């Protein structure tokens, strides 16, 4: 459990160590043994050397965006390296002004009082009283304010370590060595266009690690996908060799609770290998891969089908049979789409299915589909949901549908024996579009699509993709 203290010695010594670490600004829950500390410091020193950092000049890492994964990522770094304060500075930016509503404040108070380590930490920091007042309705808390105490507005049930929070974007990023993009793909372009203004005088470009999963569609000069890393490059002029994507089958709160997890950092070899080594922890294994754009697109694709999975689960009362039927069809569509996007799609099968699986089990997109089907949410409420953040799959449905509707990408339909837009062979994607984007149909349409007796065997869709020259490099902006 996060917050437990596993140390040897007397209770007094334990309390002293716990207090000392909390005063230093990082969670004693995650502090390591001396041997591990030594290993962490060696990894930090190696990255500092590669970046040319002089003694006395701290490595500056900034998380931009404080959703669940962005906050956890910054907290993991703080827990791992925050003790080396003369060598590294870790901070996180989020917009100021978002108030915490009364019901969330009441729930937060319950979380605090259920965790003795958190309760003690807040009392020592003289921060407990404001949560009492917020519970009573005598004070308004703000998301950036509680983040400093280790509470992410989208993940209240998982307290993090205290963090350095900056609400002025220029102050946060102007001298950063490494910037972690934790804002949704739908906000990435706007945020990094503002950041580019603050980097005009920079001599050297920072390293950027993007966590965003989502895509945009562009139709000119040819239909193609724009990913968050490409948005960042276009907005800032930072070369692609300095921009990386980190993704994997993971749930943010479980990673912070030290459930064993793995991820993959993708990009140019110059930085992906040293950054993978820097991020790697015993419970969080980071591999590296050169195929940045394709992995990034796959991270957005699985969110599309996760929404439909949530709808099917809710509408069938969690029927295992119905969910398996949906899984067969949605995975066949994803395989079909990967053959359009990747020259060697078989290399993506494992990572894509793993990421899809965890999202279906516990991801926010599947949850969103469930809530829509149950009538507890409506599309009129938008894509940013209280307590969950941005539902990336909605915009991805629109983007993939728009791209795959283009006749210039036509493939041969096995039934009618004539060229059709690829989306015509993706009935689940088409149905999700009519539910989420055009809003012509209700959530029940997803079941109608599954139960259509004219629906082809999903095996046939995979065979079509495997036996035709489907690969369209132009879709990912490649020649």
HEC profile of the chain: CCCCCCCCCCHHHHHHHHHHHHHCCCCHHHCCCHHHHHHHHHHHHHHHHHCCCCCCCCEEEEEECCCHHHHHHHHHHHHHHCCCCCCEEEEEECCCCCEECHHHHHHHHHHHHHCHHHHHHHHHCCCHHHHHHHHHCCCCEEHHHHHHCCCCCCCCCCCCCCCEEECCHHHHHCCCCEEEECCCHHHHHHHHHHHHHHCCCCCCCCEEEECCCCCEEECCCCCEEECHHHHHHHHHCCCHHHEEEEECCCCHHHHHCCCCEEEEEECCHHHHHHHHHHHCECCEEEEEECCHHHHHHHHHHHHHHHHHHHHHHHHCCCCHHHHHHHHHHHHHHHHHHHHHHCCCHHHHHHHHHHHHHHHHHHCHHHHHHHHHHHCCCCHHHCCEECCCEECHHHHHHHHHHHHHCCHHHCEECCCCCCEECHHHHCHHHHHHHHHHCCCCCCCCHHHHHHCCCCCCCHHHHHHHHHHCCCCCHHHHCCC
334, with CB counted inside 10 A (0-12, 13-18, 19+), is: buried
Residues 6+ apart with CB under 8 A from 64: 70, 92, 93, 169, 172, 173, 179, 180, 181, 182, 183, 191, 195
User: How many other C-beta atoms are found inside a 10 Å radius of the C-beta of residue 438?
Assistant: 10
| CA dist., res. 169 & res. 91, Å (int) | 11
Tokens encoding 126: 């003289």
Catalytic residues: 302
């Amino acid at each position: 459990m996060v917050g437990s203290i596993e140390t040897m010695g007397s209770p007094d010594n334990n309390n002293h160590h716990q207090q000392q670490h909390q005063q230093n600004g990082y969670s004693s829950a995650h502090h390591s043994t001396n041997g591990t500390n030594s290993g962490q410091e060696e990894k930090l020193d190696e990255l500092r050397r590669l970046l040319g950092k002089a003694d006395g000049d701290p490595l500056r890492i900034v998380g931009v965006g404080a959703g669940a994964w962005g906050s956890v990522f910054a907290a993991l770094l703080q827990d791992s390296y925050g003790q080396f304060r003369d060598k590294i500075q870790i901070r996180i930016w989020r917009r100021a002004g978002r108030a915490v509503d009364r019901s969330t404040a009441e729930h937060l108070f319950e979380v605090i009082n259920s965790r003795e380590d958190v309760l003690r930490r807040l009392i020592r920091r003289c921060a407990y009283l404001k949560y009492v007042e917020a519970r009573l309705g005598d004070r308004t808390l703000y998301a950036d304010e509680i983040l400093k105490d280790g509470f992410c507005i989208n993940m209240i049930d998982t307290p993090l370590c205290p963090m350095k929070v900056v609400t002025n974007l220029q102050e946060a990023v102007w001298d950063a060595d490494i910037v972690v993009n934790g804002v949704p793909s739908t906000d990435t372009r706007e945020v990094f266009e503002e950041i580019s203004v603050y980097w005009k005088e920079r001599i050297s470009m920072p390293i950027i690690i993007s966590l965003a999963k989502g895509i945009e569609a562009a139709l000119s000069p040819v239909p193609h996908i724009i990913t968050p890393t490409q948005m960042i490059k276009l907005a800032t002029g930072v070369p692609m060799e300095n921009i990386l994507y980190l993704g994997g089958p993971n749930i943010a709160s479980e990673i912070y609770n030290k459930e064993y997890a793995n991820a993959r950092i993708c990009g140019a070899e110059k930085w992906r290998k040293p950054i993978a080594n820097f991020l790697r922890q015993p419970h969080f294994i980071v591999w590296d891969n050169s195929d940045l754009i394709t992995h990034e697109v796959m991270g957005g694709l699985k969110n599309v089908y996760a929404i439909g999975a949530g709808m099917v689960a809710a509408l069938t009362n969690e029927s295992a049979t119905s969910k398996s039927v949906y899984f067969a069809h949605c995975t066949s569509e994803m395989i079909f789409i990967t053959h359009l996007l990747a020259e060697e799609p078989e290399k993506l099968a494992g990572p894509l299915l793993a990421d899809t699986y965890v999202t279906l089990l516990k991801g926010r997109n599947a949850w969103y589909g469930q809530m829509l089907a149950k009538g507890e949410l409506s599309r009129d409420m938008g894509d940013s949901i209280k307590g969950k953040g941005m539902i990336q799959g909605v915009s991805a449905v629109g983007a993939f549908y728009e791209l795959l509707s283009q006749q210039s990408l036509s493939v041969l339909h096995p039934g009618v024996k004539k060229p059709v837009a690829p989306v015509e062979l993706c009935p689940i994607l088409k149905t999700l579009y009519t539910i989420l984007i055009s809003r012509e149909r209700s959530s029940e349409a997803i079941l109608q699509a599954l139960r259509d007796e004219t629906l082809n065997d999903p095996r046939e869709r995979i065979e079509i993709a495997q036996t035709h020259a489907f690969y369209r490099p132009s879709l990912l902006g490649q020649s």
